[in-house]
């Protein structure tokens, strides 16, 4: 009984550590972007055939997430993206796309269907988009403000970071609503 409890605690600690880390070692990761700079321009077509073009999204709040089906932390984060971001903020003022690094649409469509994700997903099999942001490290998320600048960026996953990201999205969406409200 005691050894089973010890094993369960050890397994829980290892799993927690694994899920809070990136898919590569920290010293190998380089980020090519910074909070406050303009979001790199790219266009991607999601698995539903819709085009997402960063230059065309000024005035909207945007979340770009890089992930892969084989990435443990990504698999842990994605249900939260569905529930706490996409379903909560989905509107004309909010755009989200999850881009699968080094994966094709044929690989990610069944994954999306099996997991029940409804947010837009696109493939980036040759890293042509990902290479604008960094050399490694997923999951990787970017919140882009209504003026096209990066308001938040992260690589790796942990709950506190995720919660901070959702607060940034919420605050920026409030700015959009203020701008839409007619002044008396």
Helix (H, G, I), strand (E, B) or coil at 148: coil
* pLDDT score for 62: 97
**How long is the chain?**
184
Give tens-digit pLDDT for 152-172: 999 899 999 999 999 999 999
Supply the range of the domain harboring residue 62: 2-25+32-180
- The pTM for the full model equals 0.82
Q: How many CB atoms lie within 10 A of CB 130?
A: 21
* pLDDT score for 130: 94
Give tens-digit pLDDT for 46-82: 999 999 999 999 999 999 999 999 999 998 999 999 9
Q: How many separate domains does the chain show?
A: 1
Confidence of residue 129 (pLDDT cuts 50, 70, 90): very high
Instruction: Specify the CATH number for the domain of residue 124.
Output: 3.40.30.10
Q: Give one DSSP letter per residue of the chain, joined into a string.
A: -HHHHHHHHHHHHHHHHHHTS-SS-GGG--B---TTSBPPP-EEE-TTS-EEEGGGGTTSEEEEEEE-TT-HHHHHHHHHIIIIIIHHH-BTTEEEEEEEET--HHHHHHHHHHHT--S-EEEETT-TTGGGTBSS-SSEEEEE-TTSBEEEEEES--HHHHHHHHHHHHHHHHHHHHHHSPP-
């Amino acid at each position: 009984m005691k050894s089973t409890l010890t094993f369960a605690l050890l397994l829980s600690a290892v799993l927690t550590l694994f899920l809070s880390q990136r898919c590569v070692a920290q010293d190998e990761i380089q980020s090519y972007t910074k909070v406050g700079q303009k979001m790199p321009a790219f266009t991607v077509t999601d698995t539903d055939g819709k085009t997402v073009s960063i230059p065309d999204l000024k005035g909207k709040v945007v979340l770009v997430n890089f992930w892969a089906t084989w990435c443990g932390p990504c698999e842990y984060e994605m249900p939260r993206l569905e529930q706490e971001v996409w379903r909560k903020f989905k509107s004309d003022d909010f755009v989200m796309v999850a881009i699968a690094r080094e994966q094709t649409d044929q690989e990610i469509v069944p994954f999306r269907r099996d997991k029940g994700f409804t947010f837009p997903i696109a493939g980036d099999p040759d890293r042509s988009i990902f290479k604008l942001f960094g050399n490694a490290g997923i999951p990787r998320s970017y919140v882009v403000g209504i003026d096209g600048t990066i308001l938040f960026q992260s690589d790796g996953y942990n709950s506190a970071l995720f919660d901070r990201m959702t607060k940034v999205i919420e605050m920026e969406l409030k700015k959009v609503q203020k701008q839409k409200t007619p002044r008396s």
